[in-house]
Structures are given as C-alpha cells and as structure tokens.
Amino acid sequence: MTVTSQRPILLAGVNLQTLGYNIEVIDGFYGRPGRRGKNRPTPYLDGAYSYTQKFYEPRRLFLRMGVYATDADGQVTHSDPFEHLYENLDTLFGLFHSDDLIPLQRTMGDGATIRQLDVEVLRDTTVTGSTPSSYKFVAELQAPRPFWKQLPVVSTVESGVTGPHAFNIAIGGNAPIGDAKITIDCTSAGSNPSLEIASSGVFVKYASAMSPGDTVVLDLAERSFTYNGARADAAIQRNRAWFLRFPPDVASLGMAFDADSGTYNVTIERYNQWF
C-alpha cells in the first residue's frame, strides 16, 4: 500500500494511514489560535472586550482524506472493493462516537516526539464520491484547549516539605500551560497548605486541617478541587480563579509552598504545550 506520511497521525489510537490517504497535513495543524474577545458595546473603549480569565479561542481543524477501498495492507480481499470502503468508513465514523474529547496525535519530524490535541466533532461529517477510489471523508474538528501537549507528562515532586519552602520547576514549549494537576499529600498532621507562583503572587490554599494520608488535588483541566477524592471547593481559598497558568519556555519558574504546620509531598504534573 502507498504510505502517504512518514509521520503517523493517530485518532483515538487508530493510525489514519490504515484507512485513508492524502493526510500528510490536516488544515489547522499549524497556527496560533486567536485571542479571546467579544464585540460588545463598551463606553470609551475601542475594539473588542476580552473575557476575564479567558485568553484564547478554541482551535479549529479540518480532516480531509481519501478513503481506501482496500484492507489495511492495501489488498482487495472482498469480491467488491465497495465492501472495503464501507468497512473503513464504519471505522472512521466509529472514531467520532465518543461524548468525550478524542485524542488526536501526530509524530514530529524527529520520528519520536509525540504531540496530542484533544478534539471533538464540531459539525456534520460528510462523505462524497462515486467510485471506491474517489470517496472523500471530511470532518470539522474543534479543540476546546487549543494547544498541542507534548507527551509524556512532566512531573516535579517535592518530598517531605514544610512551610515555607521555595523550589523551581522548568517549563518548556511555546504556549502557556493552564491544565496542570497539583497534588498535596500530607505525611504528618498539619493545616492550611498553600502553593504560590512567586513571580505573580497568585496562590491557592486548602484552608483546613490535614491528617497523615490525606490528599488534596487541584485539577485545572477538570476544574476541580478534591480532598480524599471528594469535592472540597468550600475549603479552598485563592486570589484568582484557576490560577495556575504557567508561562511558556521558563527554565526556572519559582514556586512557593507554605503551611501553618505539618509535612507534605507536593507533585506538579503538566504537559509542555505548543501552538
């Protein structure tokens, strides 16, 4: 079979090269999403009004590909090529059935680096064609979180810390990170653990007592605070909603941990992200 790309493109874990051709580039792969704004009347202010705590528009992508009328090895094993075409179309449509976001992955030019964008089908998916070799599949996709995250996850662990405690984390990529996951594990009884970005003074605090084995998780991607697995929004104090927006390409970003008492392990998980 003819391989149309030396850099595989996977949707929901399925290599699209086994289903179609002409998929070297998907419209929207490369580019920078627009800044978020809204044209509402604002006295004495020109231009658009930006939403508070909303920085970028979602990313739009168009998947356009011819569909094989063969099996994954490029062979016609059915009596009618249309049977292969329908099987491949069934597989393609099956990739878009999820109500959750679908991982779209591409391999970079070095053949090893993988970046992922979580997408959903935005509009009707269309198929056109009159012969098995002419069928085209078109899907308009949207990525609510518009940046490509580079796999695998990057994790920083600070163990056995008490307050106050300063440390640094390294941030790569050329786009900001707004979907980090922060975990605070209590190893000896204490209270009021907090985490702050030193350069901005933006912080989050769990304003309550903790016992050994207790865990607080701040999941910015899911917009949730949990204490031992249960929602704990009422016990969280912060000076900015969903504060942890790491700037891109910072070799040493200062973080400040504090607590009134106790000992903790602090884990910061994030993906370096790219336009």
pTM: 0.82
User: What pLDDT shows up at residue 52?
Assistant: 54
The 10s digit of each residue's pLDDT in 25-68 is 677 777 777 776 665 555 555 555 555 556 788 888 888 888 99
Count CB atoms within 10 A of the CB of residue 243.
19
- Do 204 and 246 have their domain in common? yes
Q: Is 179 part of any domain?
A: yes
- Do 142 and 162 have their domain in common? no
Q: Is 3 part of any domain?
A: no
Residue 34 has what DSSP assignment? P
- Do 193 and 215 have their domain in common? yes
- Do 57 and 137 have their domain in common? yes
- How far from chain centre, in Å, is Cα 221? 8
- Do 198 and 135 have their domain in common? no
Higher pLDDT residue, 184 or 77? 184
- Do 159 and 105 have their domain in common? no
- Do 23 and 72 have their domain in common? yes
Those residues whose C-beta lies under 8 Å from the C-beta of residue 144, and which sit 6 or more positions away, are: 58, 101, 118, 120
- Do 26 and 84 have their domain in common? yes
How confident is the model over 155-184, as a mean pLDDT?
94
Q: Is the pLDDT of residue 1 over 50?
A: no
The 10s digit of each residue's pLDDT in 113-162 is 999 999 998 888 888 888 888 889 888 999 988 999 999 999 999 999 99
Q: Is 4 part of any domain?
A: no
Reported as a pLDDT band with limits 50, 70 and 90, residue 242 is low
Domain ends where: 100, 123, 146? Answer: 146
- Do 23 and 133 have their domain in common? yes
The 10s digit of each residue's pLDDT in 245-272 is 888 999 999 999 999 999 999 999 999 9
Q: Is 268 part of any domain?
A: yes
Higher pLDDT residue, 95 or 156? 156
User: What pLDDT shows up at residue 55?
Assistant: 74
Range of the domain at 258: 153-274
End-to-end CA distance of the chain: 33
User: What pLDDT shows up at residue 24?
Assistant: 62
Please confirm whether the linkage preceding 212 is cis (ω < 30° from 0): no
Sort 187 into a burial class: Cβ within 10 Å, 0-12 / 13-18 / 19+: middle
- Do 142 and 13 have their domain in common? yes
CATH number of the CATH domain containing 25: 2.40.30.200
Domain ends where: 146, 175, 197? Answer: 146
User: What pLDDT shows up at residue 2?
Assistant: 43
- Do 118 and 201 have their domain in common? no
What's the structural domain count of the chain? 2
CATH number of the CATH domain containing 266: 2.60.120.860
Copy the structure tokens of residue 195. 């985490």
The 10s digit of each residue's pLDDT in 186-225 is 999 999 999 999 988 889 999 999 999 999 999 988 888 9
Q: Is the pLDDT of residue 88 over 70?
A: yes
H/E segment holding residue 252: strand 250-258
The 10s digit of each residue's pLDDT in 9-28 is 889 999 888 888 777 667 77
Domain ends where: 146, 170, 200? Answer: 146
Q: Is 96 part of any domain?
A: yes
The 10s digit of each residue's pLDDT in 126-135 is 888 888 888 8
- Do 237 and 118 have their domain in common? no
